[in-house]
Amino acid sequence: MREITYLEAVREAMTLEMRKNEDVFILGEDIGVYGGAFGVTRGMIEEFGSERVRNTPISEAAISGTAIGAALTGMRPILELQFSDFITIAMDNMVNQAAKLRYMYGGKAKVPMVLRTPAGSGTGAAAQHSQSLEAWMAHIPGLKVVQPATAYDAKGLLKAAIDDNNPVIFYEHKLCYRTKCHVPEEEYSIPLGKADVKRKGTDVTVVATAVMVHKALEAAVELEKEGISVEVIDPRTLVPLDEETIIRSVKKTSRLIVVHEAVKRGGFGGEITSIIAESEAFDYLDAPIKRLGGKPVPIPYNPTLERAAIPQVPDIIEAVKETLNWS
């Protein structure tokens, strides 16, 4: 099986859907000849033309509003925002329109649209271009939130998101773009709301999202050398969330650590923690749940400070050992 990058997997999913369905089109800033801020749409305008790979003005409100209108008429737009931070300019459209219209029309209206956006730190893009805001979107009824960590998941989940009749926020972590893994050439779909056990273990469950999945797996390899078995779970989608897979794992390991890049305060890790606290898995816990998240500061430009602001592999290793009282 061939290996391709996460970036190539996202492009391939869009290409396959656009070849199959003429109602699918892309819109966003500089996505045409330039190929998008990170090159995800590079080469697509040559195949599909400027009508279906549509450059827009620098206005996230206009991009999102156009996409919502197109979706209501039966098309399936994929809008790209250059950075996830810029969703703040589109909040009224996404929160008060896209998320609500199907409900307000009693299910008679559909809003089949995908908002794709690069998220997270690690590229020196500083405070206004490096945030992880997925918890905001997960709080809004009517929006689905997807956060794939691997190329395989990115292709399969984007296919499912484009086929969905509801608005989907699709977060692509910038540091994942160049990662590679085996990805089939043929079409396949990964259902939204199905977590993946990235690594089986018996001593502690680590639930990680986006780039933290890779850091958790790296930590698990190091911990294995010391005889510690770590189970790593990637929810893949926050809304809908596969609670059962997480609960089942915690009942097996009796310990839970949740790690995400977003600021710990108000982050989605608190939701996962409360789910376990309210489930039968709570009675199986042998140690308090630990949450690792970003520090409550804007992401710094300085590379050393940028790394210090979010969890790293040594932080995960330390948290696991503390949970196990391992010295």
Question: Above 90 in pLDDT, residue 326?
Answer: no
Return the structure tokens found at 124.
């020196």
Please state the rounded mean pLDDT for residues 196-211: 98
Return the structure tokens found at 296.
């409550």
Give the global pTM: 0.96
1 band by pLDDT with thresholds 50, 70 and 90: confident
pLDDT of residue 327: 58
3-state secondary structure of 313: helix
Give helix then strand counts, H and E, for the chain: 12, 14
pLDDT of residue 212: 98
Q: Give the pairing type, strands 76-80 and 24-28.
A: parallel
Please state the rounded mean pLDDT for residues 193-220: 98
Distances 303 to 84, 174, 245, 300, 307 between C-alpha atoms, Å: 20, 15, 36, 7, 6
Question: Which one is predicted more confidently, 326 or 19?
Answer: 19
- Of 132, 25, 12, 105, the C-alpha closest to 70 is 25
Question: Above 70 in pLDDT, residue 288?
Answer: yes
Q: What is the mean pLDDT of the chain?
A: 97
pLDDT digits (tens, 9 = 90+) for 261-282: 999 999 999 999 999 999 999 9
Domains annotated on the chain, with CATH: 2-183 (3.40.50.970), 196-325 (3.40.50.920)
Please state the rounded mean pLDDT for residues 60-71: 97
Percent of the residues in the chain that have a pLDDT greater than 90, as a whole number: 99
pLDDT digits (tens, 9 = 90+) for 105-153: 999 999 999 999 999 999 999 999 999 999 999 999 999 999 999 999 9
Active-site residue among 129, 173, 214, 260? 129
- Dist CA 8 CA 203 (whole Å): 36
284 band by pLDDT with thresholds 50, 70 and 90: very high
pLDDT digits (tens, 9 = 90+) for 73-84: 999 999 999 999
Per the CB < 8 A criterion, the answer to whether 170 and 119 are in contact is no
Indicate if 260 belongs to the active site.
Answer: no
pLDDT digits (tens, 9 = 90+) for 15-54: 999 999 999 999 999 999 999 999 999 999 999 999 999 9
